[in-house]
Structure 1
């Protein structure tokens, strides 16, 4: 993800105070929180967990030291009492979350006796309840250092609930891996069989078939080998045996096993809807490019765009909770009402740099704002903010130069008509 817009206003600069309106100020503030929590890199882990497990989570709270909301990533979907997070939905309205529960175990390397104790935290819209498991297995109320009450109040200055600070990033359709685990296991098994077959029958062998009694005597001890008990075979060496026939066993045809392996790859590509060239090496003319690549990746791009919609709404919910938390525990936030947050994503389509440049040039001729033109070219909000800052600095220099010229022109106009400027002569004035 590349940024946020608030009520249609995007980030204007890294400096909130320079933003022209409250909505743009808030968008810039969101981006500052984003950078302060290092989410630019952590979001990769967040999305991969959602794709792998079907769900991942973020818990939003207040970081007193940094003076901003804190976003903490969680991956595990809890069982009844297993570590992880569980959302409890209204049985009559699945979209309405009643409360969230987080199970975890304590870890204190300096006090081993306190390690491995199970904890439970329940997040309700207006309060937070903490529990610890007693020795008999029962849940007991618990207060961490710094907690002022039990349960913790989770309301704003007017007493309104701040909301459940647990945000779910749910992958549409669940885990991307669930449907291909069986096929992947079969592919792994086929690879092992192919390697074993290559080891045992992938090379030609020399066979000696005895027609009567005879042959090599059994060797009881490798350290006591008589000359006649060994058979040395090497290139250009003549093999001479008695009462036997020497013939060559050709290498086995491994192509059917190779085709079986490729069939499993094709099946995985079909089930996962991932282009097959992502799953096996390609080269030469087989490498798709241009319009062919765009067509082949259209299904994958569509899936990415669907997840951008779902994950974008989750980010909007997370930022709305963070905004409410910051207004309660922080100070100086711009008031924006009603609040409409949208996530900005980088383009999921395969980019054609020349085509994008031509589109941007057409936009420029039509008078489309520079922000749209820059976004079309793939520049990030940080890049765009830098462009605007540079433009403002250049404009300030130009305005200062014009103002200087006008000031000098004004001084010249104020001189009396009969006055003449002094003439420099022989190092002096007259």
Structure 2
């Protein structure tokens, strides 16, 4: 849930609007202020208050009688209006990086100096050289090229599941730009449709890595781009998948009504496609269950869970499932069912389901296991099983320590907050000691 003193984020559609991007690039704050007024409902008086400016000064900027050139003022505007630093030519702002992921600067290791000729050989060409060479590159687009793209996407997802996507993002974005560049070369129609699908998946994956880092504006922008790319080839199943991702993000942003609208919109897209498989419909029904549970709609949650299991029972080995939904296997169905019950406060029902799924899950998927183990600990604590909950959460720390994920840290923080009434109990103290041993960078901010 957003902190009460934190300024509201600007809508993703505004931050990705070409007019806003250009106005920020040239620091035309007259246009910026007018755009945030018309597109985000932030009026000049609110701009003044947020950015520590006088209302008269804001009025002069809007009328074109004054320019804002001082760097400290530009930084106040970026922070007050929540405009990402790169849009205004600034360094990444502190609020763009979750506090738990801010690393202490370390002194660079001393490296022996290379001789001039060896030093030159070890240096890399600048990105402008890569761009120039790319203009002369002629990619032989064929089935093998497409398969190579798909294989790399599968590898990205596997590594994201194991260790988080933060370190992968530059490579994913680079490949997305490369594929979009290939589309601009007007490839043959048979290749073009596949490239659109690959670009859509890369855009969704980029959005997912931002979502996992709780950088929601950037995530929404890339999810939206994924929808546009999928729409070009009328891939309604994939559009449903992207909407399901956005629905899940809305639950993390404490926007349950948005989550439900996106989940039902995803189902509408899927049902309008003749080829939608039962596995896809089962996954989408579970997303709907999460949304209803966040709203506290008990009967609707139970109904959506029943639908998810009914569709899952219809799955056949011969179904042409898209690759992006194969993760939704029986352990995933069971654990999500448990989490939906947990969100409703039905801890006694949730606990055995989550425990059963954890016993059957792939042990290499560290992030998912960390999430699910923390959920198991929360349901145990909700039932007053303090010793068991702390032991379970301690096991979760092992998986959490191998993953760079702000979402994992968020689940850890929620459990830690639940422990507040029991903080001086020996088992809670033992958990905290293990926490500080395995996750020292995140343990400090967790203290009340």
**TM-score between both structures, scaled by the size of structure 1:** 0.25
Higher relative contact order (CA 8 A, sep 6+): 1
**TM-score between both structures, scaled by the size of structure 2:** 0.24
Which protein has the bigger helix share?
Answer: 2
Which protein has the bigger strand share?
Answer: 1
